[in-house]
Amino acid sequence: MLLVLLALVPVSYFAYQNLGWENRVSQAQVAVARIAAEANIVAAQGAGAKGTVDVFFPDGIDSNSSRTFVKSKQVQLSLWSGTGHNDVFAVTKANVTGSLPSSSGRHILAVSMNQTGVVKIEAAS
C-alpha cells in the first residue's frame, strides 16, 4: 500500500504542473483574442477611433520583443516554461503596431486608429 502511495506522488505532481501550464496558455489565448477583437472594433470605426481593453497576462511571459509583440496583423504573447517557449497569437483585420506589457497581471490597454489606418496598442496611461 505504501508503494502505491509513493508512486502516486510524482504522478500527481506532474499532473498538477501540466494543469498549471494549460491554465497559463488559456489565459494568454484569451488575452490576445480580446486585444485583437478590440483592434478590429476600433479599425471598423475608422481614423481617430479609440477604445480600451482590460486583459490578464499570465506568469511566464517572455518580454523579448522578437517573441512577444504587436505588429503587421498579429498580436503575440510568448510564454516561457522549463522546457521552452509557447507562442500564442491572434490575427487582426487591420495593421497593428505598439507594445505589450512584459509583466503578469491585469493590464488596461489603449487601442487607437491613426489617420493612416494603423491601429496602435499600448498600455493605457
Is pLDDT above 60 for 14? no
Helix (H, G, I), strand (E, B) or coil at 64: coil
Strand order in the sheet with 84-91: 50-57, 105-113, 119-123, 96-98, 69-71, 74-81, 84-91
Q: Per-residue pLDDT tens for 47-71?
A: 999 999 999 999 999 888 789 999 9
* Predicted TM-score of the model (pTM): 0.85
State the Cα–Cα distance between residues 44 and 61, nearest whole angstrom.
30
123: which strand partners? 109
Burial 85-104 (b: 16+ CB within 10 A, else e): ebebbbebeebbebbbbeee
pLDDT at 71: 96
8: which strand partners? none
Mean pLDDT of 5-16: 55
Q: Per-residue pLDDT tens for 68-107?
A: 999 999 999 999 876 778 999 999 999 999 999 989 999 9
Give long-range contacts, CB 8 A cutoff, 24+ apart: 115-118.
115/47, 115/48, 117/43, 117/47, 118/94
Q: Per-residue pLDDT tens for 18-44?
A: 557 789 999 999 999 999 999 999 999
